[in-house]
Structure 1
Amino acid sequence: MPGVTLPVVPQYSPGPPTSEDLEYADLAIIDISKASTPEGRAELAVTVREAMTNLGFFYVVNHGYDQAQAARITDISDVLFAGVSQEEKEMYEGTMKTTGSYQGYKLRNYWHIDGGVRDQVEHYNINRDVTKREHPQPIRPFLPEIEAFARHNHFNVLHPILRLLALGLELDEETLVNIHGYNAPGETYVTLDPKKKKNERRTNGSSSPDVPWADFGSITILWSQPVAGLQILTPNGKWKWIKHIDNALVINAGDALEFLSGGYYRATIHRVVQPPTDQRSRPRLGAFYFCLTDDTVKLLPFVDSPVLQRVGIKRRFSDEQAPSMEAWRKGRTSAYGQTELKKAIDGVVEEEVINGVLVQHYN
């Protein structure tokens, strides 16, 4: 925000990346600045299509924010946790279980995971329209920057990616952009998320109460930070780490995109585990932009796609039973930690039915 005197914010230091030898996923790196020309989009669309049909994750670089701007977003994120008392956090607690809306604080111990263990995840969620609800006093001076951050993610990252994904389906490149309006009713939001050192209570043999999941939206944008913890489940069933790249974004698909693409683009299962030994005493502080289609969009596959006509469509529900984005997000959000999960035969995958759709969780 050149020419504007910004409010002072304490600097947050995440420390250096891990030096441990981890098994990293081999993710494609997309230079999104090349998407400004038709020729660049045609080239990038091939790489993005391969990434989304294989691992469901890729990196984005040259996205328009420099390192200092990205670091300031992290500094602002820390205000919501280090600068807000527990009492004030409770005043701005979200109502996920009752309304299916993620706005506000998701406090620790909110969800029951299994065997008496409750989650240790805390985050704060802000609708892209920052005026949707009131926010804690310490963060209010920074709301213009958060709104600018949301707009940057939406127009300079999300929309270019959606054009590449549409081209990968051989559709008009505005097909997906047209159902991700910035001012349309919906729940796309900025999430600011600190993960502290895990407790050691066990859930079915795991020392972490964070269970693997797939996101329920269309695209998730994670601003990479140095403390390792994110892992993805690869097609061969192995868990691999996501490597930190300075000022890069980590992009992945969610349920909504998988439904819209007829199963062509993968909503990959991922999880957050304890950091490597040399980072275990440090918290992870992340900034995300969780993208959903407009609330009114029916999550039906684009049957006109020449690609889907060639490879076939994997339907999760009939056209008549297809949920809207609003119904799907509310169903997934309000059901988490509340419904009974049915064990599958292999004892690893747990299942539940939401809005008539079988949802699998990897324990």
Structure 2
Amino acid sequence: MPVTTLPPVPHYNAAPPTKADLDYADLATIDLSKMESAQCRAALASQVRDALLTHGFFYVVNHGYSQAQTDRIFDIADVPFSCVSDEEKRLYADIDQETGWYRAYKLRQYWHIDAGVRDHIEFINIDRDVHKQGHPEALRPFLPEVEEFARFNHTNVLLAVLRLIALSLELPEDALVKLHNCNDLVEAFVKFIKYHPRSAEDEEKTNNVWFKGHTDSGSVTILWSQPVAALQILGKDSKWRWVKHVENALIVNAGDAIDFLTGGYYMGTIHRVVQPPPDQQQYTRLGALYVAMTDGDVKLVPLYESPVLKRVGINPCCENSVALTMLEWRRRRANGYGRTELRPSKDKGVEEEIIDGVVVKHYN
């Protein structure tokens, strides 16, 4: 049987793990190798419920990708940034007004962070159907692998997580899977993102915050763990805690859509990105993610048929008659971030924007 030869890719040299003594969040670990029986899935669903009610984040291990495969994905993830000129990046920098998401690049210094400081973040979104958009030349040889990476995230990880969330709500296993068909209105996509070091002056002006505290607009975000410590989550005690790097693990969190669909039972997780500890501040931070949303025409109203939600009570964010669809919510969130004027909240260190009557908070 012939061996497939993969195209060569420059190696991305990631930072060594930090030795700083950080206050890490105590996150649950979900082992996907234990999905084989209904009894095991019920036990995992209980773990997922507890994780979503406490931190909203959890690790996923034994997902099926080897460490070598993960290392190669991170090498590929750096290609759109290190191997593409700024001039070519601008050719693929555009926002789809229909879906509200970036077609390919979001360039650096596009968002206002705080105190006149603009961001040092660049990312590229790649539709799970890679043929739906254009791509910079350097990335094209790797598109089959990116498409396979998207398929793996969707089929092996996302659908498993959605089944466990449904079971935790005492719904049929496929209740949430049926809402994630990836129709033409809103697609799940791969995101490669790179954070660049900033000046000491910019760090002081922004209190070391690179990406303000926020919730994700979609349903589930899958982040492939990488060694630069910068991601923090806001605990119920109002303290920010770091998310620890776990080799070849995934970090999964719920977004706004899950919050809406559960009537606030599972709240979207508030997280932010800050300056890394001193022993990692000279490195770039490279991320690989899979961002999932319900189908665009799904109305974001509570799953009233859930026995769990009936017992605990449902707190919808708005009347069902005026609730937005996934497409509408995604578009409003994406078009506003970093470009709309935020108003101070009554809560210290919090700013707000109003989207169709729903208060969206940004944490500084």
Which amino acid counterpart does residue 197 of structure 2 have in structure 1? K
Equivalent in the alignment of 1:251: 252
Runs of 4+ with deviation above 4 angstroms: 96-99, 202-205
Aligned pairs, number: 362
After superposition, give the CA deviation of every residue in 1:140-197 in whole Å (9 maximum; x if it has no partner): 0100000000000000000000000000000001000001114553131100011111
Equivalent in the alignment of 1:107: 107
Matches of 1:304 and 1:20 in 2, distance apart? Answer: 47
The reply on whether 1:207 has 2:208 as its aligned counterpart is: yes
After superposition, give the CA deviation of every residue in 1:230-279 in whole Å (9 maximum; x if it has no partner): 00001111110000010000000100111001111121111111111111
- CA displacement at 1:95 relative to structure 2: 1.6
Report SS of the residue matched to 1:212: strand
Equivalent in the alignment of 1:279: 280
Distance 1:282 1:25, change over 3 A: same
Moved more, 60-69 or 103-112: 103-112
The reply on whether 1:229 has 2:238 as its aligned counterpart is: no
Equivalent in the alignment of 1:171: 171
Question: Unaligned regions of 5+ residues in structure 1, if any?
Answer: none
Moved more, 266-275 or 321-330: 266-275
Question: Is the 1:198–1:208 contact (alpha carbons within 8 Å) kept by the matching residues of 2?
Answer: no
Equivalent in the alignment of 1:79: 79
Distance 1:204 1:355, change over 3 A: farther
After superposition, give the CA deviation of every residue in 1:112-167 in whole Å (9 maximum; x if it has no partner): 23332212211111011111111000000100000000000000000000000000
Matches of 1:348 and 1:44 in 2, distance apart? Answer: 36
Question: Is the 2:211–2:273 contact (alpha carbons within 8 Å) kept by the matching residues of 1?
Answer: yes
- CA displacement at 1:336 relative to structure 2: 1.2
Which amino acid counterpart does residue 113 of structure 1 have in structure 2? I
Question: Is the 1:171–1:305 contact (alpha carbons within 8 Å) kept by the matching residues of 2?
Answer: yes
Moved more, 202-211 or 264-273: 202-211
After superposition, give the CA deviation of every residue in 1:14-42 in whole Å (9 maximum; x if it has no partner): 13211111110000001011113212111
Please show how residues 51-130 of structure 1 align to structure 2 within 5 Å. 51-95=51-95, 100-130=100-130
Which amino acid counterpart does residue 73 of structure 1 have in structure 2? I
Distance 1:360 1:295, change over 3 A: same
- CA displacement at 1:303 relative to structure 2: 0.5
Matches of 2:359 and 2:10 in 1, distance apart? Answer: 45
Report SS of the residue matched to 2:121: coil
- CA displacement at 1:344 relative to structure 2: 1.6
The reply on whether 1:351 has 2:352 as its aligned counterpart is: yes
Equivalent in the alignment of 1:263: 264
Equivalent in the alignment of 1:305: 306
Moved more, 149-158 or 125-134: 125-134
Question: Is the 2:99–2:330 contact (alpha carbons within 8 Å) kept by the matching residues of 1?
Answer: no
Would you tell me which structure has more strand in proportion to its own residues?
A: 2
Report SS of the residue matched to 2:213: coil
Matches of 1:342 and 1:154 in 2, distance apart? Answer: 37
- CA displacement at 1:203 relative to structure 2: 7.5
Distance 1:114 1:96, change over 3 A: farther
Report SS of the residue matched to 1:210: strand
Which amino acid counterpart does residue 350 of structure 2 have in structure 1? V
Equivalent in the alignment of 1:153: 153
Question: Is the 1:222–1:288 contact (alpha carbons within 8 Å) kept by the matching residues of 2?
Answer: yes
Which amino acid counterpart does residue 251 of structure 1 have in structure 2? V
Question: Is the 2:94–2:102 contact (alpha carbons within 8 Å) kept by the matching residues of 1?
Answer: yes
Question: Is the 1:56–1:253 contact (alpha carbons within 8 Å) kept by the matching residues of 2?
Answer: yes
Distance 1:111 1:44, change over 3 A: same
Equivalent in the alignment of 1:190: 190
Question: Is the 1:117–1:203 contact (alpha carbons within 8 Å) kept by the matching residues of 2?
Answer: no
Please show how residues 310-325 of structure 1 align to structure 2 within 5 Å. 310-325=311-326
Matches of 2:296 and 2:204 in 1, distance apart? Answer: 35
- CA displacement at 1:209 relative to structure 2: 4.3
Matches of 1:240 and 1:347 in 2, distance apart? Answer: 18
> What's the TM-score once normalised by structure 1's chain length?
0.96
- CA displacement at 1:102 relative to structure 2: 2.1
Distance 1:183 1:359, change over 3 A: closer
Distance 1:47 1:84, change over 3 A: same
Report SS of the residue matched to 1:193: strand
Matches of 1:251 and 1:310 in 2, distance apart? Answer: 26
Report SS of the residue matched to 1:360: strand
Aligned CA-pair RMSD:
1.6
Which amino acid counterpart does residue 185 of structure 1 have in structure 2? L
Which amino acid counterpart does residue 258 of structure 1 have in structure 2? D
Identity %: 54
Question: Unaligned regions of 5+ residues in structure 2, if any?
Answer: none
Equivalent in the alignment of 1:133: 133
Matches of 1:313 and 1:130 in 2, distance apart? Answer: 39
